């Protein structure tokens, strides 16, 4: 939210200026809370990547955790500068990440293995090129929502075919965090004028970042559990320090 304070980065050129007063805590960071709120997502992605690598999950899951990190870092660049170019580093990885989720969800039952990754790669590349040349506001949101909706049928199928209660809890945490995050995002956008007059700004968009960091982590762990179950790796959900759930597998030794 512009407040007239200048910075070395120049005027805001992004299509959206969020409901946080700019350059309050630093002349180098436009939206302080919207920037640092991506740190939990990065840490969770690093932890998930370690879990995937140490247990030798398929490479798709390592790439998925890395994409979560790239998205969070891109979001930090965007909110710290509010520049059009850095906005691309936030929005384009969002779409790429959703395409990766679609691949992971649907590829096990896809008979023509090369066609899906080829199509999704070309689609992601085409989107990046088009999105870099044209400014989409509502169109980008609708596009993102459609990609999310495409994931729901398969996620629901995995949920109903999973009998493990702790794995089901991962799915429920995924749904609850995206629900709470969406409420924070909507309230921050719709009631920004009223919120800006409050003594204390609840930082709804920053809460969106934190909740979506956990949301991505829970989604990844649930998908890792389901895939390990498909491969007969005897997965189970355990907790790091008794708090953070993650998937532990036991692969059968080959003779």
Q: Which residue has the tokens 């708090």?
A: 243
Contact 247, 230 (CB under 8 A): no
φ and ψ at residue 240, rounded to 5 degrees: -80, 120
Contact 20, 1 (CB under 8 A): yes
Positions of the chain with pLDDT under 70: 1-8, 111-112, 253-255
Confidence (pLDDT) at 61? 96
Confidence (pLDDT) at 172? 96
Containing 93, the helix (H) or strand (E) segment is: helix 84-106
Confidence (pLDDT) at 7? 60
For residue range 204-221, what is the model confidence (pLDDT) as tens digits?
999 999 999 999 999 999
Confidence (pLDDT) at 27? 81
């Amino acid at each position: 939210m512009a407040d007239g304070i200048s910075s070395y980065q120049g005027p805001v050129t992004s299509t959206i200026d969020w409901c946080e007063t700019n350059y309050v805590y630093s002349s180098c960071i436009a939206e302080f809370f919207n920037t640092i709120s991506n740190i939990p997502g990065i840490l969770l992605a690093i932890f998930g990547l370690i879990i995937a690598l140490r247990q030798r999950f398929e490479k798709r899951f390592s790439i998925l955790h890395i994409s979560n990190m790239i998205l969070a870092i891109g979001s930090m660049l965007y909110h710290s500068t509010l520049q059009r170019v850095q906005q691309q580093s936030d929005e384009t990885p969002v779409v790429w990440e959703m395409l990766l989720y679609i691949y992971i969800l649907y590829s096990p039952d896809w008979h023509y293995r090369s066609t899906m990754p080829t199509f999704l790669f070309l689609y992601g590349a085409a989107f990046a090129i088009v999105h870099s040349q044209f400014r989409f506001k509502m169109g980008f949101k609708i596009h993102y929502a459609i990609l999310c909706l495409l994931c729901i049928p398969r996620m629901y199928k995995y949920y109903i075919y999973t009998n493990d209660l702790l794995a089901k809890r991962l799915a429920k945490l995924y749904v609850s965090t995206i629900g709470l995050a969406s409420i924070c995002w909507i309230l921050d956008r719709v009631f920004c004028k009223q919120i800006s007059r409050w003594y204390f700004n609840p930082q709804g968009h920053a809460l969106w970042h934190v909740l979506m960091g956990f949301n991505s982590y829970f989604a990844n762990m649930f998908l890792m559990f389901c895939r390990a179950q498909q491969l007969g790796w005897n997965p189970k959900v355990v907790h790091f320090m008794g708090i953070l759930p993650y998937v532990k597998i036991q692969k059968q030794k080959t003779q």
